[in-house]
Structure 1
Amino acid sequence: MTTPAPAPAPVPRTRAPFGRALCAMVTPFTEAGTLDLDGAQRLADRLVTEGCEGLVLSGTTGESPTTSDDEKTALVRAVREAVGGRAPVVAGVGSFDTRHTVELALAAEKAGADGLLVVTPYYSRPPQDAVEAHFLDVADACGLPLALYDIPGRTGTRIEPETMIRLARHPRIVAVKDCAYDLLGTQKVLARTDLAYYAGCEEHVLALYAVGGAGYVSTVANVVPRRLRAILDAFDAGDTAGAARLQRLAVPLIELMMASGLPGTVTAKALLGALGLPSGPVRAPLRPAGRETADGLLAAYERLVAG
């Protein structure tokens, strides 16, 4: 009788300071366009109940460019109240202005956030020494752990791997939301630091996790939180083939939501609305998805949950 081969040893995990499975939560608005705090609380509660281990507020998906400072702070307070201690709440506080970013960071800390998501300063395209100084100023100003948001396609500026390695020396810079589309550069940083790397692009969830990433921060998790978390759970259980199958099954919905020419905020809110979940309209200059797009998203969602 052949002895079964032992299960493969798990890949050593980097620290996951905010959990593994994080949702980049939409910011619900009323039909009149005002902040819907009741809807935000209901959505946050559902996401945590359905398997999200952490929530990221006021990021790209949360329409941070079009929400006021007061709205951002109120959102943190409301979600903190809704989820209690069940999941970390990470507040997006990044802007193109270091002073303003520090103000937002301090307000989020006071409102009850567990961590901060700080994007690379955008539009002005600062050189790497200025990028580094920006993040260090924010980290020095508050007592919360920081996740750096590396998304050069939107900001125009990369956090270069060598800059990231230097920033990792700061005790409060603990994580990265990785939307740089540079898996080689990411692995160089993983090899030389203990930064927790979160995939910010859903097609990279399994690939980054397999080389030691901490998990993901996902827009698609707004609508299928359990499906995305199942990828990580299968991998952690040693079922790498199952994890790969689950990743592939999610690709059609990922593509429609994140690579169809519309921002993920637009597609996520369209699908949440079709499912009767809190979302509301997007704020200008974004525009809502058309009926054909919404129907296509719903059909892809239904195929995924039925598969």
Structure 2
Amino acid sequence: MTNSAPSSSSIFGTNLVAMVTPMQPDGTIDRSGFDALLVHLLSTGCDGVVVGGTTGEAPTLTSHEMSELITQARVHSNHALRVIAGVGTNDTAAGTDMARSAAAAGADALLISAPHYSRPTQAGIAAHIVDIAGAGGLPVMVYDVPARTGIAIEQATLIELSRHPSIRAVKDAKGDLYEAMTVMASTELAYYCGVDELALPYLCCGATGLVSVTGNAVADRYAEMIEAVRTGDLDRANAVQRALLPLTDAVMRTTQGAIMAKAALVRIGVLSGATVRRPLLESSTTDLRRLDAALCATGIDQESRSVDIPVRLA
């Protein structure tokens, strides 16, 4: 008997990008910039986006803004991108409301992290995720990011969560490859690398795909890497990874990924501004010099990648 359930790659995609949220100089959402970014991501091989995740500055988005962005991504990408809504919170009741709103706004799936700050037990983490998953009625990607939540989702908890019919995948920002391989071997959970620096190792260890920050600017490079691994061309995949190292370092290890990804998108002509909301601050001159050097070292011609981008995707 064959399994008729849709594959995780068809639900979530393989080359996902944690989208930044473009903003006007006054801090309001830049709707045309959001559309421009969608055009850019589609044209560079992205097949799924996380809206309102860490890179999208979720802590400073209102519920209304979040719903509008999900709908905009759904409608203006003409259903060509899977839209995964970030619903990370430390309040389970609020998380269930967020999940329902995301589903109503047109999200394809949910990204649910462990509750931050509260530091519940592993049983509490599992209950939190299951409650939110049940409320949304959508496929779920569990987000394991202890550097931000303050608590890791343990291997046994991930295996327990895998038994829930809606929980289909893990975005792993923990960076423990051995644990990831163990969970993949013990469950049907699809793994997505959430650590840009480790994209190639995760793919080689069996990850279904990536959820990248640097991909805001260079999703095409990640598409090439994924294809190279899929076809067994590891020399090519390694060459792509090595070429990306300077830019990955500049985006992920300078200040914050959201800050540097926006700066990179301005540098390559996709966005007109790199405004972020407090408590984040825009890139300093020193950081921008480092980013420019990385773009050059990575072989990205800033001028040639700048294009006229329509305000709407018709």
Q: TM-score range by the shorter chain?
A: over 0.9
1:239 equivalent in alignment to 2:233: yes
Mapped partners of 1:29, 1:221: distance in 2: 19
Mapped partners of 2:55, 2:111: distance in 1: 13
Q: Which residue of structure 2 lines up, in the alignment, with residue 225 of structure 1?
A: 219
Q: Which residue of structure 1 lines up, in the alignment, with residue 261 of structure 2?
A: 268
Mapped partners of 2:208, 2:163: distance in 1: 18
1:16-62 C-alpha deviation (Å, 9 max, x unpaired): 23111000000011111101122111111210121001111111100
Number of aligned pairs? 293
**What's the TM-score once normalised by structure 2's chain length?**
0.90
How far has the Cα of 1:147 moved from its partner? 0.5
How far has the Cα of 1:193 moved from its partner? 0.6
1:293 equivalent in alignment to 2:287: yes
3-state SS in 1 of match to 2:119: coil
1:265-300 C-alpha deviation (Å, 9 max, x unpaired): 111111212223225301001111112211221221
1:223-257 C-alpha deviation (Å, 9 max, x unpaired): 11101211111111221111111111111111111
8 Å contact kept, 2:102–2:136 = no
8 Å contact kept, 2:40–2:270 = no
Mapped partners of 1:82, 1:29: distance in 2: 18
Q: Which residue of structure 1 lines up, in the alignment, with residue 246 of structure 2?
A: 252
Mapped partners of 1:137, 1:189: distance in 2: 22
Matches within 5 A, 1:107-256: 107-256=101-250
Mapped partners of 1:306, 1:136: distance in 2: 43
3-state SS in 2 of match to 1:223: helix
Mapped partners of 1:140, 1:108: distance in 2: 13
Q: Percent identity?
A: 40
The code of the aligned residue for 1:281 comes to T
Matches within 5 A, 1:11-90: 15-16=8-9, 17-90=11-84
The code of the aligned residue for 2:69 comes to L
**What's the TM-score once normalised by structure 1's chain length?**
0.92
How far has the Cα of 1:166 moved from its partner? 0.5
How far has the Cα of 1:112 moved from its partner? 0.6
Mapped partners of 1:71, 1:142: distance in 2: 18
How far has the Cα of 1:259 moved from its partner? 1.4
**Which sections of structure 1, spanning at least 5 residues, go unmatched?**
1-13
8 Å contact kept, 2:172–2:192 = yes
Runs of 4+ in 1 over 6 A off after TM superposition: none
Mapped partners of 1:270, 1:55: distance in 2: 19
How far has the Cα of 1:202 moved from its partner? 1.0
Mapped partners of 2:32, 2:95: distance in 1: 27
8 Å contact kept, 2:114–2:149 = yes
3-state SS in 2 of match to 1:27: coil
How far has the Cα of 1:306 moved from its partner? 5.0
8 Å contact kept, 1:274–1:294 = no
8 Å contact kept, 1:178–1:199 = yes
1:146-165 C-alpha deviation (Å, 9 max, x unpaired): 10110001101111010000
Mapped partners of 2:233, 2:79: distance in 1: 30
Q: In structure 2, do the counterparts of structure 1 residues 18 and 190 end up closer, same or farther at CA, with 3 Å as the change threshold?
A: same
